[in-house]
Amino acid sequence: MRLGVLDVGSNTVHLLVVDAHRGAEPTPQLSHKSELRLAEHIDRHGDLSREGADALVKGAIAAQEEAEQLGCDELLAFATSAVRDAGNSARVLKRVAKEAGVELNVLSGEDEARLTFLAVRRWFGWSAGNLICLDIGGGSLELAAGADEDPDVAVSLPLGAARLTREWFSEDPAPKSEVGALRAHVESVLAEPAQRLLVVGTPDRVVATSKTFRTLARLAGAAPSSAGPRVRRLLTRTGLTQVTSFISRIPSDDLAELDGVSVGRAHQTLAGAVVATAAMDALGVDEVELCPWALREGVILRRLDWLGGG
């Protein structure tokens, strides 16, 4: 069957169309994203602005039309942190349903972590042993740990790269004092959840997903996306230190010119590096391995399991 997955995140609205069958690897037919930066359209009252809601409706309409043109049997549409945390999310969801004909399912942070973990487990298989999975989004950081397909611990924290950039940095590049203050904040928030993950057991593999980790890994010398999804990509703690030192000194416009850095997310990269560093330190790991599958694939896999009675 052909499934469309519409992922309304804090940075992008991403439509992924796959031909999928239970027990087989989902085959991508289309991947199209629009950068809406919804996390940056949250006003001082905590609501999604009219401009942000307008952009979301427009993106949902375009995705629905594209899914229909490609003959999707079903469109699985979900929203994450930016919509979940908005004070006016109920009104925005009603508007998207009415004007775009798309029913957005708002995932909890824990569900995000669990579905991402499922995708990582399926990608690496049982031989990967005890896994810890990290995903830095625009609005939140998801963490999960376990030895099965459903993690023993799944946590979501308000440590997304877009959120932290908006709340902690006043300039571009950010002053050292602000970076230091953010680092202390992130370390404090992560301390207890990291211990909960480690109680599950010593990880055999620590895996990172998300555009933020891919960008940091690429800046540290990992293979480009053109090398394909099956090339092994690592981000070491040493490499992350070097990257962080470099990006903390240059404005985002210059950073966006580098291979692997998107224009729309360049200004968030430093905050993402701070979170990645604190997470690796809290877990006591020297490297993370990148996984090309994440939340969208997890949604697809869970749907196929459900259709197959699993």
Output the DSSP codes for 197-251.
HHHT---SEEEEESHHHHHHHHHTTPPPGGG-TTS--EEEHHHHHHHHHHHTTS-
Clarify whether residues 100 and 137 are in a common domain.
no
Query: Which tens digits make up the pLDDT trace of 244-256?
Result: 999 999 999 999 9
Segment 168-190 mean pLDDT: 97
Whether residues 144 and 97 share a domain: the answer is no
The count of structural domains within the chain is 2
Whether residue 79 is found in the same domain as residue 182? no
**pLDDT-based confidence at residue 34 (cuts at 50, 70, 90):** confident
**Does residue 101 have a pLDDT over 80?**
yes
Quick check: is 309 in a domain? Answer: no
Both tokens of residue 81? 């942190």
Please check whether residues 144 and 259 belong to one and the same domain. Answer: yes
pLDDT > 60? residue 310: no
Mean pLDDT calculated for residue range 214-238: 97
The lowest-confidence range among 34-48, 124-138, 206-220 is 34-48
Poorest-confidence range of 10-14, 145-149, 287-291? 10-14
Instruction: Give the structural domain span for 10.
Output: 2-106
What CATH number does the domain containing 16 carry?
Answer: 3.30.420.40
Task: Decide if pLDDT at 148 tops 60.
Answer: yes
Average pLDDT over residues 264-282: 97
The answer, yes or no, to whether residue 160 has pLDDT greater than 60, is yes
The predicted pLDDT at position 253 comes to: 96
What's the pLDDT score for residue 309? 59
pTM of the model: 0.95
The rounded distance, in Å, linking the Cα atoms of 16 and 30 is 6
pLDDT in the model for residue 153: 98
Question: Which residues make Cβ contacts (< 8 Å) with residue 233, sequence separation at least 6?
Answer: 214, 217, 222, 223, 289, 290
Could you give the percent of the chain with pLDDT greater than 90? 89
| Spatial CA neighbour of 156 closest among 94, 113, 209, 197 | 113
Write the CATH number for 147.
3.30.420.150
Cα-based distances in Å from 289 to 50, 79, 120, 133, 204: 39, 26, 11, 10, 11
Q: Which two tokens stand for residue 19?
A: 């031909």
Please state, in angstroms and rounded to a whole number, the distance separating the CA atoms of residues 17 and 148: 27
DSSP run (H or E) holding 157: strand 153-157
Token pair of 172, please?
Answer: 């571009």
pLDDT at position 24 is: 85
Would you state the pLDDT for residue 44? 86
**Does residue 158 have a cis peptide bond before it, meaning omega lies within 30 degrees of 0?**
no
> Considering the domain boundaries, does residue 307 fall inside one?
no
Asked which of 106, 134, 152 is the last residue of a domain, the reply is 106
| DSSP 8-state assignment for residue 173 | S
Using the predicted structure, report yes or no on whether residue 29 has a pLDDT greater than 80: yes
Tokens of 44: 């001082």
Determine the pLDDT at residue 255.
Answer: 97
**Are residues 163 and 276 located together in one domain of the fold?**
yes
Per-residue pLDDT band for 21 (boundaries 50, 70, 90) equals confident
Read off the pLDDT band of 22 (50, 70, 90): confident
Q: Are 5 and 15 in contact (CB under 8 A)?
A: yes
State the average pLDDT for the chain: 95
29: CB partners within 8 A, 6+ apart: 2, 17, 18, 19, 70
Domain-located, residue 119: no
Handedness of CA 256, 206, 80, 86 (dihedral sign): negative
Quick check: is 85 in a domain? Answer: yes
pLDDT in tens, 163-174: 999 999 999 999
